[in-house]
């Protein structure tokens, strides 16, 4: 039997990794070691700055609300020091905002059952609910059946209130440039799949909801 890591630093990192959700990786020592290898590989990557929107296209469809996004106030949140799961450190959030955020994908699925399915997010190891496009939509984006995302539009992370959403390249670029999020670290995933930082107040929640609705339109082809 292989020896397990025993240093207190490693054990604490392992526990913290599990506590915040493992991003679909099995919550075991083997899963942790796999994640740690990805983290080391990412650190050596030439394109390690996930706040750089350069890989995203500048032209193409855009579905964000009319007008450009405002700049997000203050510094970007501090990120957890690992590749997967992609998480920020928690920031203060109004309880009413948190409740609204946690209900967002459920409310969209309830309001538009002809467009969406709500089911456990496979990209998060089925640890939180994901918003999915229905596969029989005549307006469905031809890219929606991506082998990794597989019709998923968005999910949020209950431990720290950030989200992952699937946007058009142009909209993803706007989100990153204005300080609302950053790119996903794995190149096999479509570039429009981005992390959106946790909202801190009602005004920011309005922005985040607009981003999720833009993602829904990108994948389904229907404005909601």
- The whole-model pTM stands at 0.86
pLDDT per residue as tens digits for the range 126-154: 999 999 999 999 999 999 999 999 999 99
Given a contact cutoff of 8 angstroms between Cβ atoms, the answer to whether 152 and 123 are in contact is: yes
Given a contact cutoff of 8 angstroms between Cβ atoms, the answer to whether 90 and 198 are in contact is: yes
Give yes or no for a cis peptide into 30 (omega within 30° of 0).
no
Residues 145-169 as b or e (16 or more Cβ within 10 Å = b): ebeebebbbbbbbeebbbbbbbbbb
pLDDT per residue as tens digits for the range 70-115: 999 999 999 998 888 899 999 999 999 999 999 999 999 999 999 9
pLDDT per residue as tens digits for the range 185-208: 999 999 999 999 999 999 999 999
């Amino acid at each position: 039997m292989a020896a397990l890591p025993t240093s207190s630093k490693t054990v604490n990192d392992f526990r913290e990794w599990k506590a915040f959700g493992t991003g679909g990786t099995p919550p075991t020592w083997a899963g942790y070691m796999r994640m740690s290898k990805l983290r080391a590989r990412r650190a050596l990557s030439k394109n390690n700055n996930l706040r750089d929107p350069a890989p995203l296209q500048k032209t193409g469809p855009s579905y964000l609300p009319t007008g450009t996004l405002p700049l997000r106030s203050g510094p970007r949140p501090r990120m957890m020091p690992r590749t997967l799961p992609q998480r920020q450190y928690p920031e203060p959030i109004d309880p009413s905002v948190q409740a609204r955020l946690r209900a967002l994908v459920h409310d969209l699925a309830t309001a538009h059952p002809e467009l969406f399915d709500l089911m456990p997010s496979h990209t998060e190891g089925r640890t939180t609910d994901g918003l999915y496009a229905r596969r029989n939509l005549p307006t469905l984006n031809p890219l929606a059946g991506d082998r990794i995302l597989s019709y998923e539009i968005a999910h949020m992370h209950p431990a720290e209130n950030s989200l992952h959403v699937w946007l058009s390249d142009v909209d993803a670029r706007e989100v990153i440039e204005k300080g609302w999020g950053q790119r996903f670290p794995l190149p096999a995933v479509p570039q429009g799949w981005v992390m959106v930082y946790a909202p801190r107040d009602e005004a920011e929640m309005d922005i985040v909801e607009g981003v999720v609705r833009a993602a829904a339109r990108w994948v389904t082809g229907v404005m909601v």
